A and B are shown apart, each in its own frame.
Chain A
Amino acid sequence: MRLLNLILNNLIWFLVCSAFIFFSVASDRFLNPVTISNILISISALGFLVLSQSYTFITGNFDLSVESTLAFTAMVAALLIISSENGGLDLGLHYIWAILIMLIIGIKIGLFNGYLITKIKVNNLIVTIAMLFLLRGLTYGISPGTTISFFPDGFRWLGNDSIIKFSIDGYRGKLVIPVSGLLVTLAFIIAFFHTKYTQFGRNMYAIGADKEIARNNGINVDRTIIIVYMIAGLCAAIAGIMIAGRLNSATPTMGHGIIFTVHAAAIIGGMSIYGGRGNVVGAFGGVLLWAILDTGLNIMRVSPFWIEVSRGLLLLLAVLIEAMRNKYQQRILTINKFSRSKVGQEDQFYWKHS
């Protein structure tokens, strides 16, 4: 039973390993340095967005505005850095300042979302949907109507450069450990310790489980939720830096529609939309599985239409497994509870003292 529990709680990693082995065996083009590098690159921006959603999911909230936050912050940076010849405002701001501005804007957007949700008591879904539209519209509004391109190399470092590059005998291309892949891995490690081993993290889970009980137990619910949304905004801005760096462009349509992929990857990784459950390590597994599936199916030349189908099937499978796991664990809890109960047994105190 313990083994079964262990498997159920770490099912995502079992799926990740299975997918990796399957594609490695099924296609000789999968297990090569360039493919591995591509997977590491493709998980970076998506990983930060999934991290942002994981934080909000744990507290029982949604943040649909992250895809627009990503685009808006990237567009602001592009306008500040890039010359008018390439679509910018010709302000020539140093990229370090532009990155700082992006991060601050992302945090402020999160602060605004959190404030509306906690202090004004607007439903989190409505607030973040409104911000999704508002920020996307603003992105179009401030853009010159077209792509702004050609960031300086320093700006692109996070999204496009690599720490290590080395060739492996017998393989075409080089194995690249991208800066972005390392950064997102580090972020998930920090988030793991933050959510599991700090008071703040425990508060998040308590709020997600039951907000009112958490409040009655002295947890500052409003403050915690606001900080969670600020973290989500920060993650979205970092994702914007990565995508803009990788594409060497900021477009008004950046990240459009990605929120559905983000939610799917988070749920596949075990995050619960009801709050109070799931862990960020599992969410990282969800991101990895998504990237491996996408890359593997592309390499195996599966029709793009069937790749879309596979994504939907994976999500359905994830929620089905989650539902079955919850049912199984509830059953085990009930069995354990009744097995320790003395109801119906001899009254030990009576017989001892009578």
Chain B
Amino acid sequence: MRNFILAIAGIVIGTVAHAEILIGFGAPALDGGQRAIMNGFVSKAEEKGWEVVVSNANSDAQQQANQLDNFIAQGVDAIVTVPVDSKAVCSSVERAQDAGILFYTIDRSTIGCKVNMTVQANNYLAGQQAAEELVRLLSVKYSKAKGTVLELQGNMGQNVAQLRGGGFNDVMKKHPDIKVISKPTQWQAENFGQATLDVVGSSAIDGIYYHSDCVGTRPISAALDQLNKNYKRGHKDHIFRVAVDGCSDGLQAIKDGWSDQASSQPLPDFGIIVNWIEKELNNEQIQLGSVIQQGAPWSPAKIFESDSGLMLNLATSNVTSANVYNPALWGNIK
């Protein structure tokens, strides 16, 4: 009877190979930029001969907690996750560490607890880059830095959205004649579109800053189309658009003239965390200091100690029409 059941399981699901190292990857969702992050991590882990089991939390913090608990039950060697919620994940971090399992985050860090290491983009810099470009464009338009800007935020429960908003608004605060209207979107495409319709439809907006061009590019364009306010760069009524991520959609919008700037994150490169996971699995210590990767736009970067544990922030690249065709940008990689 046991053999029969095993045979059925084998036919239906396939043989489950037990690699030497098993990593649990907890994705918050598997669309847009998160797919690129997952693929980047999994490919780098598989280069090392590791096996990766992936879960998708569908943006639900409780579901992610259940999935991380399942990784613990499976006895994984390490857990790597992109937290749905930077604070809520801390209870899972605690349970994993109690079970002696290494815990890492990429793309987003924790708030209120320490993990072994985090690799993420310098989201504060990304927000600053977007803001500086927007200020420059408004200054050209009005001969001074003034106007009204719509900020489409991500999920403000995550550190990444807080930093992108923080970097952006800290620059804007230096220009009191620029008014910022902020709207949350929870990273949902329909919310990007709806917020654009609501605000641009009722106010004179000079520019839009959105926390993710992976999610926001198309719905914002569709909304502006609907409002008959979708004009290309160079048109007198063009609404400036700046964003973070540098997804292929976002870069294409710059190439086509609809958008003006993107702070490109090196999403697939977050997977380099495997190098430091390997160190810790071999009981070596991670050294603070410089990290260099030849040819990487974010290189050099630096590992430093933070409130969330060891942190490696990868610099974002300021992408405009001048350099949007750079083949090193991940959004240009097929």
Contact = CB atoms under 8 A, between A and B. Distances in A.
B67 A256 contact: no
Nearest to B184: A145
Contact of B73 (A35, A86, A147): A35
B54 interface: yes
A302 B13 contact: yes
A257 B70 contact: no
Contact of A22 (B5, B54, B73, B87): B5
B275 interface: no
Most-contacted residue by chain A among B58, B60, B66, B73 (CB, 10 A): B73
B65 interface: yes
B91 interface: yes
A253 interface: yes
Interface stretch (A212-220, A227-235, A291-299, A334-342): A291-299
A22 B88 contact: no
B236 interface: no
Interface residues of A, number: 46
Contacts of B59: 253, 256
B164 to A, nearest CB: 14
A310 B149 CA distance: 45
Interface stretch (A26-34, A50-58, A344-352): A26-34
A176 B16 CA distance: 27
A343 to B, nearest CB: 50
Contact of B88 (A29, A149, A257, A298): A149
A349 B75 CA distance: 78
Contact of A304 (B5, B9, B55): B55
Interface residues on B, range: 35 or more
B162 A253 contact: no
A149 to B, nearest CB: 4
B62 A45 contact: yes
Given A22-B5, A146-B157, A249 B70 contact: no
Interface string B103-114: 000000001100
A173 B55 contact: no
Contacts of A160: 91
A105 interface: no
Given A300-B13, A301-B53, A251 B66 contact: no
A108 B6 CA distance: 52
A254 B72 contact: no
B334 interface: no
B16 A38 contact: no
B30 A35 contact: no
B162 to A, nearest CB: 7
B54 A173 contact: no
B318 interface: no
13 contacts: A26-B13, A34-B72, A34-B99, A86-B112, A149-B90, A246-B62, A249-B88, A253-B59, A294-B66, A295-B73, A298-B53, A300-B13, A304-B27
Given A258-B62, A303-B54, 20 more contacts: A32-B73, A34-B73, A38-B66, A42-B66, A145-B184, A147-B85, A147-B157, A150-B87, A248-B90, A249-B88, A251-B88, A253-B59, A253-B60, A253-B85, A254-B61, A256-B59, A295-B66, A298-B53, A304-B54, A304-B56
Interface of A: 21-22, 25-27, 29, 32, 34-35, 37-38, 41-42, 45, 86, 145-147, 149-150, 160, 172-173, 243, 246-249, 251-258, 294-295, 298-305
